[in-house]
Amino acid sequence: MVAGARPDRSDGGVVPPLWISDTYRWASPDEKPDYDYSRTVNANRTLLIEALAELEGAAGGVVTGSGQSAALLALLRLPAGARVIAPHDCYGGTYRLLDGLQKQGKLVAHFVDQGDAAAVDAAMAEQVDLLWIETPSNPLMRVVDIVALAARAKAAGALTVADNTLPTPLRQRPLELGCDLVMHSTTKALNGHSDLFGGALLAKDAALAEELAWWSNAAGLNASAFDASQILRGLRTLPLRVDRQEETAMRLAAWLAQQPAVERVHYPGLADYSGHALAVRQQRGPGFLMSFELRDAGAASRFLGGLRLVTLASSLGGFATLICQPSTMTHRGMPPEAQAAAGIRPDLLRLSVGLEAAEDLQADFERGFAALA
């Protein structure tokens, strides 16, 4: 499947043009055109929304200027003082956003181990407005039961949003599993080239999709025409990239698990991983991201210093293999006690597998392990 690869409707071009105009002519004050002002609607964004909605099985949605603006959009429609239940080990940017809004009194955030049914039930004992799911989680790759969680939220009268950035719609479709909203940082695998920012928030229900579009326009969150066109381009190679990245990730995870310096590997593709059976049931593959813990608590800097091919950087899903230390990089906005509760230790390293040859990556990690000797 090549998403969004249909010829352009206006002139039949295999690649659609870039519509950069910020405003459009009205025939008269009483005849509003379909495209009138590009903050509100833009043809490049429309094409990307249609492609993403098709991939996720959504009625519609919005594409935004970043993943964080998509996350903010999911929260903007909530009433003042809304209660949000989120994973205790969620992406650091999500934690920062929810924690910041909570400190301003705009919402109440409960960070819960969503793999613990009793903890989830306790959090839902009071009124809940939104359940935030992230599975697999970033960076510990914990897998939670989307069907069960979405059913709990529905029974409590809450909407469910799933951050599907890591699996991509090729590996997981949360709307089919009971979620109301699905979110992406399109910066990551959907774009795949590490050269722009973008986000998406898609809805199962058409009325909810229209509400999101209203809020995104009102708050000025919509993506630029150029970024939307580039992300659409990235979608066209997504299946090839994800297949290659996942194949390499499987090899590296199995190899890393055998290394004496490694305490444990967090990757749903490993048969002995705690979330493996659930991942097999609700995902179509384990994905390209993993994390691993070193046995020596002070070894991370030495290991990272020994690498030559793999880049120390904080993003994921691109063509290049990236590694990071979540405690000091992606999750530095979480206070130490929150990191400890989530299991984010200083010796935890997150690995986003790119398109390099598996043997070249393995050789580079051998250099990293040699630096520990």
Boundaries of domain holding 270:
238-371
Mean pLDDT of the chain: 96
| Residue of 3, 53, 25 whose CA lies nearest to 206 | 53
For residue 363, being part of any structural domain is answered with: yes
Q: Are residues 158 and 249 in the same domain?
A: no
Inform me whether the pLDDT recorded for 214 exceeds 80: yes
Question: Final residue of a domain: which of 183, 199, 233?
Answer: 233
Q: Are residues 358 and 266 in the same domain?
A: yes
pLDDT tens readout for residues 35-79: 999 999 999 999 999 999 999 999 999 999 999 999 999 999 999
**CATH number for position 297:** 3.90.1150.10
For residue 2, being part of any structural domain is answered with: no
Question: Final residue of a domain: which of 180, 202, 233?
Answer: 233
For residue 311, being part of any structural domain is answered with: yes
Q: Are residues 185 and 260 in the same domain?
A: no
pLDDT (0 to 100) of residue 297: 80
Reply yes or no on whether 91 is catalytic.
yes
**CATH number for position 83:** 3.40.640.10
Q: Are residues 181 and 244 in the same domain?
A: no
pLDDT tens readout for residues 261-317: 999 999 999 999 999 999 999 999 999 999 999 999 889 999 999 999 999 999 999
Dig out the tokens for 200 from the structure: 């998406």
Reply yes or no on whether 30 is catalytic.
no
Q: Are residues 65 and 183 in the same domain?
A: yes
For residue 338, being part of any structural domain is answered with: yes
- Strand ranges across the sheet with 348-352: 262-266, 289-294, 348-352, 322-324, 311-312
Q: Which of 91, 95, 267, 273 is catalytic?
A: 91
Question: Final residue of a domain: which of 233, 256, 276?
Answer: 233
pLDDT (0 to 100) of residue 14: 86
Question: pLDDT > 70: what percent of the chain?
Answer: 98
Q: Are residues 346 and 242 in the same domain?
A: yes
Q: How many domains does the chain have?
A: 2
Q: Are residues 195 and 60 in the same domain?
A: yes
pLDDT (0 to 100) of residue 2: 54
- Strand ranges across the sheet with 181-184: 60-64, 199-203, 181-184, 159-163, 130-134, 82-87, 107-112
For residue 19, being part of any structural domain is answered with: no
Q: Which of 24, 35, 39, 154 is catalytic?
A: 39
- How far, rounded to the nearest angstrom, does the alpha carbon of residue 217 sit from its chain's CA centroid? 22
For residue 53, being part of any structural domain is answered with: yes
Q: Are residues 308 and 210 in the same domain?
A: no
Inform me whether the pLDDT recorded for 1 exceeds 60: no
Q: Are residues 217 and 257 in the same domain?
A: no
Q: Which of 142, 188, 204, 350 is catalytic?
A: 188
Q: Which of 129, 145, 163, 227 is catalytic?
A: 163
pLDDT (0 to 100) of residue 13: 84
Q: Are residues 77 and 188 in the same domain?
A: yes
Reply yes or no on whether 39 is catalytic.
yes
Q: Are residues 61 and 183 in the same domain?
A: yes
Reply yes or no on whether 103 is catalytic.
no
Instruction: Give the mean model confidence (pLDDT) for residues 99-125.
Output: 97
Instruction: Give the mean model confidence (pLDDT) for residues 310-338.
Output: 94
For residue 268, being part of any structural domain is answered with: yes
For residue 81, being part of any structural domain is answered with: yes
Q: Are residues 114 and 244 in the same domain?
A: no
Whole-number Å distance between alpha carbons of 142 and 114: 9
Number of neighbouring beta carbons within 10 Å of residue 359: 10
